[in-house]
Amino acid sequence: MRKLLVTMFVSLDGVMQAPGGPDEDREGGFEHGGWAVPYFDEDLIQRMAKLTARADALLLGRKTYESFAATWPLAGADDPIGAKINAVPKYVASRTLGDLTWQNSALLTGDLAEAVRGLDGEIQVHGSGDLVQTLIRRDLVDEFHLLVFPVLLGAGKRLFGDETIPAGLRLAESSVAGTGVVVSSYVRAGGLTYGAMGPETGNW
């Protein structure tokens, strides 16, 4: 059974752009790259390791794939996150990439929705903001695993943009990391038609 899980670092005002480094994504003149780094501690790293350990495969967009492929193969064997993502299958959604050199990587071909529905197990999407927008519009996400950082950025690419499908979600789990990052998982609320705006409504 397939389960598509999107995990994303998000600012308190909903920005997901360039959490890891100053030059990660300067599109639109974004000047706050690396905003998540000061809030990472051992607690948060262990939480990410535990989440990543569940993955049967990764689904990545082009930019995230290229970033990951340039860094994660260098991880030591004692790095649980690196060891896991180097080992699992990695499916890449791109029309411009050619040969993929990172081990266990494959390009998805044909219609994205059909290709994703044909995957098995827990498929995790890390980062890949542009791809995530497509997955949201195509109603393919089963769970959002959000790490909300206590920082306001004011501008930048947001996780839930103007084309987000109205939907009700159910909070499955929530906790607070040592640096104040709120870690929450939201799943489909049950398939009701959106209308009453209550907590159990939604087209999921």
**Tens of each residue's pLDDT in the chain, 204 residues:** 789 999 999 999 999 999 999 989 999 999 999 999 999 999 999 999 999 999 999 999 999 999 999 999 999 989 999 999 999 999 999 988 888 999 999 999 899 999 999 999 999 999 899 999 999 999 999 999 999 999 999 999 999 988 788 888 999 999 999 999 999 999 988 643 344 334 333 333
With a pLDDT cut of 90, the percent of the chain lying above it is 78
**Type of residue numbered 144:** F
For 118, list phi and psi in degrees, rounded to 5.
-85, -5
CA atoms of 170 and 189, how far apart (whole Å): 5
* The two three-digit tokens of residue 195, written as one number: 């209308």
* The two three-digit tokens of residue 35, written as one number: 């905003």
Q: Give the C-alpha distances (Å, rounded to integers) separating 4 from 93, 135, 153.
A: 14, 9, 28
Give the closest residue to 149 by CA, choosing from 8, 4, 1, 2.
8
Domain ranges of the chain: 2-188
Instruction: Report the pLDDT value the prediction gives residue 7, as an integer from 0 to 100.
Output: 97
Q: Give the C-alpha distances (Å, rounded to integers) separating 199 from 118, 137, 151, 175, 184.
A: 30, 21, 26, 20, 16
Q: Are the C-beta atoms of 156 and 32 separated by less than 8 Å? A: yes
Instruction: Report the pLDDT value the prediction gives residue 113, as an integer from 0 to 100.
Output: 94
In CATH terms, is domain 2-188 a member of 3.40.50.1000?
Answer: no
Note the pLDDT tens digit of each residue in 67-108.
Answer: 999 999 999 989 999 999 999 999 999 988 888 999 999 999
